[in-house]
Structure 1
Amino acid sequence: MSKRINKESILRASEIKQQLQIEDFEKEISALKKEIYAHSETPSQGDSSAAERTEVLQRYESELGFLKDELDFLDRIDTDSEISEIGMGAVVITDKKNFFVSVSIEQVEVNGIDFFGLSTKAPIFQVMRGKKSGENFDFNGIHYKIKDVY
């Protein structure tokens, strides 16, 4: 790739995307809590919808905690380190997609270029880990050529 996108810009875009997800979950949790606790009467044992809403609330709160942990993780990534092989904090430019090895984030756009946040727990990372510019890898029947790693 002739012109590299600044890694700090990719990280900041990833943090913003993560923060927006956190805010969405917080809004959903707040609305769900209002719905659950708005009724002054105690639901009967046969009221399965209240139990289902409470279960959903617990799942949302758990996911919110996970998202906050990932945001904290993003905050600890060193964007100044020199990286020549695929590992944590690497930007990976391939002929198919561009990745930012960090946490699982759908996609962020920086200067008109899309980057996909990639967790080190993702199966594709296990295949590409340790590879360098100019190398290739295959995942799910797709062949990738690595153009740049930084």
Structure 2
Amino acid sequence: MEIKQQLYIACKNYIEQRIATIEKAIHSAREASTDDTKSSAGDKYETTREMMQQEIDRNATQLNEALKLKQVITAINPEHSSAVIQPGSLAITNNGSFYIAISAGALNINGANYFAVSAASPIGAKLMKLKKGDSFQFNGKTYSISDVY
């Protein structure tokens, strides 16, 4: 399987795992909210319900962000190749290999490290629209692009 397809699958798995974790946290908070019975002191019951509601709201926000990431990754065709860096491109530089998709951090594929970065991230924005042979400065380092897939 081509490396870009493996990176794409790794990013999709990252998102799916994140969504599942958030949904589980929301479910747990809802259960905790409904399990706390009124037999305890009234104020304590209301405080617990409010805390659980805040937890649900926080997780709902994270779930929305994860669903947006899912839309971003779904819009990428892992088989598309371009000479110019764009979402879905794999840029090989002298200071690391960057897969432009979502911010998923370091991914290890077949013993090699790749960085999954969003096009909107600081380094992703620098890489966008560059091509093989181009260079750019980031955090005091010069990055030279040796290949784009």
Q: Structure 1 residues 43, 54: CA separation in 2 closer, same or farther (over 3 Å shift)?
A: farther
SS in 2 for 1:108: strand
Whether 2:57 is the aligned partner of 1:58: answer: yes
Aligned residue identity for 2:52: R
CA distance, structure 1, for counterparts of residue 139 and residue 48 of structure 2? 40
Q: Where does residue 108 of structure 2 map in the other structure?
A: 109
Give the number of aligned pairs: 146
CA distance, structure 1, for counterparts of residue 140 and residue 52 of structure 2? 41
Unaligned runs of 5+ in 2: none
- TM-score if structure 2 supplies the norm length? 0.84
SS in 2 for 1:131: coil
Equivalent residues in 2 for 1:6-21, closer than 5 Å: 6-21=3-18
Q: Where does residue 88 of structure 1 map in the other structure?
A: 87
Q: Would the aligned equivalents of 2:78 and 2:88 in 1 still touch at CA under 8 Å?
A: yes
State the shift of 1:12 in Å. 0.8
Root-mean-square deviation (Å): 2.2
Q: Structure 1 residues 39, 79: CA separation in 2 closer, same or farther (over 3 Å shift)?
A: same
Whether 2:144 is the aligned partner of 1:145: answer: yes
Q: Would the aligned equivalents of 1:13 and 1:109 in 2 still touch at CA under 8 Å?
A: no
Whether 2:54 is the aligned partner of 1:72: answer: no
CA distance, structure 2, for counterparts of residue 84 and residue 122 of structure 1? 21
Q: Give me the identity figure in percent.
A: 22
Flag the structure with higher helix content: 2
Equivalent residues in 2 for 1:29-40, closer than 5 Å: 29-40=26-37
Q: Where does residue 136 of structure 1 map in the other structure?
A: 135
Q: Would the aligned equivalents of 1:43 and 1:50 in 2 still touch at CA under 8 Å?
A: no
